[in-house]
Amino acid sequence: MKKTKILGWLALLLIFVAAFAMGFTAATEHNLEDGYEVGDVAADFSLKNVDGTMVSLSDFDSAKGFLIIFTCNTCPYAQAYEDRIIALDANYKQQGVPIIAINPNDPSAKPGDSFAKMKERAINKGFSFPYLIDEGQNIYPQYGATRTPQVFLLEKTAKGNVVKYIGAIDDNYQDASQVDEKFVENAVDAMLAGNEINPKTTKAIGCGIK
């Protein structure tokens, strides 16, 4: 009788442990799929720039933060924002918040987003910031990026690069002169001033990552 009870309890324990393990695995996979949220610490990366060098966030010793922008050559939304991205870099790089642009697209799906085409685009547009290729498409899923362009503002802190804002550059991709809300500018200004960022997230409008 006692042996039967013990076996019964063991069976229940094994079922509980298995269910917990499955739940933990599912939760972990869900978090990885979702990517970073505001307040998360973003891991560093090492990606190839259009000049052939490898670039990491740790290379920027004096940076106060970073504007990580997932963008590409071929998306009309990304193209519409290129001049604004260049202007953002000119403004904020000197304040310690450089832009790091990352092309997340698979060039086999979008040949116009190949590394060779990236180099051409960077030269033709006069990019003043690193333009990196996410070879193997390993980085954009970590961030949870889904669109080009999509911005992740990071603040360099003692515990790492903390995500402070996620979303769109502004509220009008069609016409820069008609912008009412400069989401990224407002977020960076607030971060540098030590103020609360509002809003912390917005919906990124652009092309789906290929």
Residues 53, 22 within the same domain: no
Question: Number of folded domains in the chain?
Answer: 2
Mean pLDDT of 24-39: 57
Domain that holds residue 9: 1-34
Res. 8: pLDDT tops 90: no
Q: 3-class DSSP state for residue 200?
A: coil
> How many residues are present in the chain?
210
Res. 147: pLDDT tops 80: yes
> Each residue of 88-106: pLDDT tens digit?
999 999 999 999 999 999 9
- HSE-up of 2 (CA within 13 Å, CB side)? 0
Which of 7-11, 13-17, 117-121, 147-151 has the lowest average pLDDT?
13-17
Residues 87, 2 within the same domain: no
Residues 98, 170 within the same domain: yes
User: What type of residue sits at position 171?
Assistant: D
> Each residue of 60-69: pLDDT tens digit?
999 999 999 9
Closest CA to 104 of 126, 134, 65, 130: 134
Residues 25, 106 within the same domain: no
In which band, very low, low, confident or very high, does the pLDDT at 27 lie, cut at 50, 70 and 90?
very low
Residues 4, 70 within the same domain: no
pTM: 0.84
Report yes or no: 189 and 197 within 8 Å, Cβ to Cβ: no
Residues 9, 84 within the same domain: no
Strand duo 99-103 + 65-70: pairing: parallel
